[in-house]
Amino acid sequence: MDDLATYAENTWCPGCGNFGILSAFKKAVKKLEDKGTQKEKIMISAGIGCHAKIFDYLKLSGLYSIHGRSMATVQGMKLANPDLKVVAFAGDGDAFWEGISHLIFAAKRNADITVIIHDNGVYGLTTGQYAPTSEKGFKGPSTPEGSVEEPLNPLSLMLESNATFIARGYPVKLDHLADLMAQAIEHEGFSFVDVLQPCVTFNNTYQKYNSLVEILDHLPESYDEAMSIAKRKDKLPLGIIYKSEKTPFHKLLYGDFNPVMNSMPREKRRENIARLLSL
Amino acid sequence: MQEGVFTFLVGGKAGEGVKKAGSVAAGIFAGMGRWAFEMDDYQSLIRGGHNFSIVSTAPRKITSHYMKADLVVALDRRSYDAHKDDLTDGGTIVYNSDTLSDVEGIGVPLTREAKKYPKPDLRMGVGAVTILAASLGLEKDDLKKIVEYEYPRDIENNINYAMAIYDIVYPEIKSKFKLDAGDKKRPIISGNQAIALGAEAGGLDLYFAYPMTPSSPLLHYLAKYSKELGVVTVHPENEIGVINMAIGSVFCGAKAMVGSSGGGFALMQEAFSLAGMVEAPLFCYLGSRLGPSTGVPTYTAQGDLKFALHQGQGEFPRIVASPGSIEEAFNLSSEMLDLVWRFQTPGILLSEKHLGESYMTVDIDVNKAKWLQPLMHEKGEYKRYLDTENGISPLLFPPSKKLIKWDSYEHDELGITTENPEMIAEMQGKRNRKTETIVDHMKTLHTVNIYGDKGPVIFTYGSTTMSVLEALQSGDIEAEVVQPIYLEPLPVWELEKYKGIEVIVIEQSCTGQFASLLFEKCGIKAKAVIKKFDGRAFEPVELAAKIEEVV
């Protein structure tokens, strides 16, 4: 029995890359459980779009957020109770257009959150408009003559933003993706997994990705090496592109404090106020 | 002019310590056991321009500054020109004789003396405080203590400067304004500080804000005392990050609050509606400046009333309240935190620059602050959106073996997205039923302040209440002042009795939003609406004259 499933009816198109992401995430949760993480400590959030339906399909607690904001939502969760592991699912439109400020600054401040991008290079749920990662020339209902914009590179963007864990996965390589997700969640600090997600209805990239993906055989040793891998176009390397250790935001902000668990009692607050009023 | 009222005005350029001098003056009066009210008029700039601070004090409760001052200290020519006519009969103006000459008043070489020390500009405020001290007849020793306490940086030079100015000015002004001591020493705080401390008393755990005048001082205050108060204070990338983080925090059971002014608050609308949908207990502070758009950042207005009442798309309950004094801001802040958690819906504490950034002596009883334990799930199956009779579903916070799902889409009781028509109608009904539950509870609370019981009925709200009460004092006018503390739900059960009476409405708005709200919700008609929309708070003497005109 699948104890991570809910009764919600799955409405993704047959063959959608999201199925692989869902399966890989469940596997990742199992891996973490096997290593001692309680699944009730894993909180999820999602933006709006096809990707976000994963929120309803996963029997995990969390908050179904709004377009572009899941990355902010989970930062608030982490700040309130740092004992929790928090995961934000986001689409490419979600993370790189509507909510890009939250993504960049979560990376910059090394917020201890995991962001999983369902990167399909298209707007699925709103019927096929071009997206930040669409190829130039992409034809959709808002760009009938083809998009005139160059696509954005999520990996180099995250490198520039000082992310401390950056990876790319592909749902066809299911176990590999599950492993990346588990490592991302385990990473203390900001972790980012860009998942190449074919959209069978509006942007079917299976063939292209199958011929271009290549699992990295080693962890890049330097920032510069990571950047050159991120920028490769002849191949789409999969795996952890960059990883470094840095104290996460909440610890820099308040050390070992936990706002929910250590919330200041009423009497102490009254004393504080009396003292401040007497200044 | 009111007997016993003394007003001190200090004006100068930004960067000369004008505001600090005003706050030290207010502290001196509070230290004498008197009541004081300090209004800072400053511009949106860091250096230059014209800033002034006015402090009015009385042996009785005083709720506004007066524009006519007994003592004006003009640190530069512009301040002299701007305020030379703002003197009471028998008032004195002291000016910086290094910046202008051949004018009426007492000239003091404030700059020349200051140039004997490094950073002369920074001494100007000390000079103003010294002139006030000399006029009040304070001894040099008392002045020395004040300077030591208030100007701890470069103490020695500050004291020497103060003593030199004292010796120059004392023979001219000697104890001209001896004031009686008042009944007891009270703390003097700003509205922003009162809101911060009220929220602290109510259990605030996290404060999220992006700077925007006039709400930023609340952010600065909580950030400064973050560790001491146990309030984690975060300044994220923008207001959208602010409110979405706060909603993530309350999901985990933390009491969180956000604050901004008009433009920043507008950016939070979408997530304000999210809070309504997921039933997040979110406490918001809207500190109004004069709009629209960027408007006039450092000046006051009540133009955001309907903006606050109508925040967010869709239909959901919300609570909006506006404090009529700095003391009330403290109590209301904790009460609003109580209410949003009690009813799991967003609430707005609406205030204005005139309350947020003015300072006032206060009698605060910390024990009056509210402290709510929210309705928690106890045992058995858990459904986040359990459809209950009063619309309130019990809360449960992570980590829990039970599933806790908050959903921005319409959802079923468990929090799974739905498009089923019966379920949609059920949940819309459940959420909006809370409005009735809120009203039932509010009927047990003090929701309207009424001052006086004779004479014409005057309706006002928010910081304008302070101006109205002082105007009635100064003009010796008898009236019944009605101030709804809550604006949504508007306590119509308390206001019904005014239907059919022709009332006077006083508000700081160009279009008369408050008057229109009273008519729309209670059928209360205004025979006159006294409005002000130039960014400046009503001045008591002027307002008294306007009230006399329409009575």
Q: Is B403 on the interface with A (CB under 8 A)?
A: yes
How far apart are the CA of A214 and the nearest CA of chain B, in angstroms?
A: 36
How many structural domains comprise chain B?
Answer: 4
The ipTM value here is: 0.98
Kindly indicate the confidence band of residue B2, based on its pLDDT and cuts at 50, 70 and 90.
Answer: low
For chain B, the maximum distance between any two Cα atoms, rounded to a whole number of angstroms, is 85
| Confidence check: pLDDT of A109 > 60 | yes
Of all residues in chain B, the one with the smallest CA distance to A7 is: B416
Peptide bond into B489 cis (omega under 30): yes
| B488 shares a domain with B537 | yes
Residue at a domain's end among B406, B426, B445:
B445
- Cβ proximity of B205 and A263 under 8 Å: yes
Q: How, if at all, do strands B526-531 and B359-361 pair?
A: unpaired
Per residue in A188-223, pLDDT tens? Answer: 999 999 999 999 999 999 999 999 999 999 999 999
Please report the number of interchain residue pairs, chain A to chain B, with beta-carbon separation below 8 angstroms.
Answer: 190
B residues 240..259 contacting A (CB < 8 A): 240-241, 244-256
| B413 shares a domain with B470 | no
Any domain includes B182: no
Q: Which of A61, A62, A80 sits opposite B254 (nearest CB)?
A: A80
| B525 shares a domain with B419 | no
Q: What is the pTM of this model?
A: 0.97
**CATH number for the domain harbouring residue B516:** 3.40.50.920
In this predicted structure, what is the pLDDT of residue B48? Answer: 83
A residues 9..68 contacting B (CB < 8 A): 38, 40-41, 43, 45, 48, 53, 55-56, 59-66
B contacts of A48 (beta carbons < 8 Å):
408
Of all residues in chain B, the one with the smallest CA distance to A274 is: B366
**CATH number for the domain harbouring residue B83:** 3.40.920.10
Closest Cα partner for A41 from A79, A78, A88?
A: A78
Peptide bond into A154 cis (omega under 30): no
Per residue in B94-141, pLDDT tens? Answer: 999 999 989 999 999 999 999 999 999 889 999 999 999 999 999 999
| B383 shares a domain with B267 | no
| Confidence check: pLDDT of B1 > 70 | no
Kindly indicate the confidence band of residue A1, based on its pLDDT and cuts at 50, 70 and 90.
Answer: low
Any domain includes B180: no
B contacts of A74 (beta carbons < 8 Å):
248
| B531 shares a domain with B474 | yes
How far apart are the CA of B487 and the nearest CA of chain A, in angstroms?
A: 28
Per residue in B239-249, pLDDT tens? Answer: 999 999 999 99
Write down the mean pLDDT value for chain A.
96
Any domain includes B179: no
| B358 shares a domain with B334 | yes
In this predicted structure, what is the pLDDT of residue B47? Answer: 83
Q: For chain A, state the CA radius of gyration.
A: 20
B contacts of A64 (beta carbons < 8 Å):
278, 405-409, 411, 415, 417
In this predicted structure, what is the pLDDT of residue A278? Answer: 86
- Strand order of the β-sheet with B405-407 is A213-215, A236-243, A165-169, A191-196, A114-119, A85-91, A42-46, A62-64, B405-407
| B165 shares a domain with B16 | yes
| B96 shares a domain with B239 | no
B contacts of A41 (beta carbons < 8 Å):
398-399
3-state class (DSSP) for residue B365: coil
| B153 shares a domain with B98 | yes
How far apart are the CA of B146 and the nearest CA of chain A, in angstroms?
A: 13
Q: Is A105 on the interface with B (CB under 8 A)?
A: yes
In this predicted structure, what is the pLDDT of residue A250? Answer: 98
Query: Would you tell me how many other CB atoms lie within 10 Å of the CB of residue B175?
Result: 11
| B473 shares a domain with B405 | no
Tell me the residue range of the domain where B465 lies: 448-550
Mean pLDDT of B400-427: 98
Reported in sequence order, the residue ranges of chain A that DSSP labels E, i.e. its strands, are 42-46, 62-64, 85-91, 114-119, 122-123, 129-130, 165-169, 191-196, 213-215, 236-243
Domains and CATH numbers, chain A: 17-277 (3.40.50.970)
| Confidence check: pLDDT of B179 > 80 | yes
**CATH number for the domain harbouring residue B231:** 3.40.50.970
Residue at a domain's end among B146, B173, B200:
B173
Mean pLDDT of A236-253: 98
| B351 shares a domain with B390 | no
| Confidence check: pLDDT of A279 > 80 | no
| B457 shares a domain with B436 | no
